[in-house]
Every structure is written in structure tokens, then in C-alpha cells.
Amino acid sequence: MDNVQSAQALAELVETWGIVPFFRNSIPGFSIEEHTPPDLWFSDAQDGPWEWKGPVIRQTGCAYGKFFQNKAAFISRTWFPDFANWRRDGYDFDARYDDGLAKSADKYVFDLLDGQDSLLSKDLKRLGGFGKKGRKGFDTIITRLQMQGYITTTDFEYQMDKSGRVYGWGVARYATPERYFGAEFTDAVYRREPEESKARLLTHLSALLPEIPKQEILHWMG
């Protein structure tokens, strides 16, 4: 993985590698954090990895979310159907819930989002009644649904001041993969057995990381 110094370089990396973790993890050298100059992470003078996320998602049409070890990663639209098929174990969400494999709190949030094309996280929280005096555990639910391949982040949106300048942290916009990718995803996601999708992901990652034992890659995959 070469040094990443622009949103364009990161977009090209996502398209080439297919799976790119955002933060340092159990596989040495396999993260944007380790291949981006430190001074770009919190710079007032120029955009860095935090600001690149939205443009990269929009340019590549990839998925972004907490997909591995509860940490964020980009997954290209080519590889996301295999990821979702494996993590869903072949279940759509309703079937998972009917078989007692999903929590009622997860179904509550999933159903709210599934009824929309997409929602900003703050709007999903508001619709769901999450807050200091309301429901709890929103972030945990979202992470669990992302890890299972049922929700992805489709963009990050920023507040603007009166002068038209953006400020603050980007607010995540969520959607189900079915809504975000459309037929491209729904036609492919359950095409294979889940274990075949897992094997394809492992083979792909092993080719990208030939010096890393397969067991270490499997551990990171989760």
C-alpha cells in the first residue's frame, strides 16, 4: 500500500484493493492511518482522511462502515455483495429476525431506515426517539447492523456557517445496501453460499497480503 496523500489517491486505492481499513488494526501496514502523513489528519490548511471519506464514497460508489472488528473500512461495490452474503449468512434481515437471530432493537432501527432511501444519523436518531431522555444504544445498534452487512454509510454531510463555509464533523448518511446499490446488489448478494463468499474474500485478501498468514487474515476478518 503506497502513501495516500489525496482523496483521489484514496479512491484509486479503494477501487484497486477492494477492501481498505481506515484505522490501524491487527494486520501491520493494512490501514489508511499507517499510510497517510500524520499532519493531514487534523490540518486546518488542507483536507485529510476525515474529509476524504465522503468524496471517496461518492466517487467510487463504495460501502463504508464499521465492517471489521467494529472498526471502519471501505469495501468496493465489487466486493460488498460477498461481504454481506457471508456476514448475513444468507439471511435477509426479516428472515434473520424471524429465526430469532436479531434483536428487536436492531429490527426497530432497520425498519426505520429500510422505509427511506437514506437518512442522516441525526434524523434516524430523532425518528427512533434516541437521546438522553429516550432510547439508548444507537451507536451499538448501527455498528452491529454494519458488521452484519445490513447498513452502510453512503456519505458524510457538513454544517455550513452563514458565509457558506463548512465546519464541524461530517454527519453520516445511512442506507441499506439494497437501497444504495439497487439491483446490482440484490441480484448478486445471495448468489453464492455464504462460506463460498467468505473463501473468496480470504483468497482476495491473501493475494493482497501475501506475507500475512491466512489465520491472521481470518482473525481480522472476524
Domain assignment of residue 1, yes or no:
no
What integer is the mean pLDDT of 57-73? 98
pLDDT value at 88 more than 70: yes
Domain assignment of residue 192, yes or no:
yes
Residue 191 sits in which domain range?
A: 7-221
Domain assignment of residue 151, yes or no:
yes
pLDDT value at 1 more than 80: no
Domain assignment of residue 2, yes or no:
no
What's the CA gap between 176 and 149, in Å, rounded? Answer: 9
> What total number of domains does the chain contain?
1
What integer is the mean pLDDT of 31-39? 92
- pLDDT band, residue 44 (cuts 50/70/90): confident
Question: Does pTM top 0.75 for this prediction?
Answer: yes
pLDDT at position 46 = 80
What integer is the mean pLDDT of 62-89? 98
Domain assignment of residue 129, yes or no:
yes
Domain assignment of residue 204, yes or no:
yes
Domain assignment of residue 146, yes or no:
yes
Q: What is the pLDDT of residues 99-129, one digit of tens each?
A: 999 999 999 999 999 999 999 999 999 999 9
Domain assignment of residue 103, yes or no:
yes
